[in-house]
Structure 1
Amino acid sequence: MISYQPFYDTLYKKNITEYALIYKFGLPANTIHRMKHNKPITTTTLDTLCEILQCRVEDILEYIPPKDI
């Protein structure tokens, strides 16, 4: 599963709000909604977020492997 928790940690560290991403940087509100619900985003969006936040991919998402049965 992909988790976007690192994204929210990065926003906090950089003191950037979701509001700023939407209204200052033009990120679609639907993208934020998708990330909140751990839905997929495009690599283009990922690239845009890295550019806006001046960070690496791992500062936005992480892979959490499924638990062994």
Structure 2
Amino acid sequence: MSFFRRPDYTSEVTQFIDQLKAKKPTLEAEQRAGRALLWDKKLSLQDESEYSEARVPQQPYVYGTSNHPNGK
């Protein structure tokens, strides 16, 4: 072991998360199930094609108002 080695540091947040996982071992599985409900969805080919057709090209300067529908 090196003379200059510092002791391993764990933050309070990391300690809290480790304690939480120790108390509730099913936590990660529940989080993954919750994510699957809202985010991990398969899109049909029709949905993907409609999404790509509805896409509006971004202007070179995002904050410009020259071609904005409400711009003057």
> Which TM-score band applies after superposition, normalised by the shorter structure?
under 0.3
Question: Which has the larger share of helix?
Answer: 1
TM-score, normalised to structure 1's length? 0.24
Of the two, which has the highest radius of gyration? 2
Question: Which has the larger share of strand?
Answer: 1
TM-score, normalised to structure 2's length? 0.23
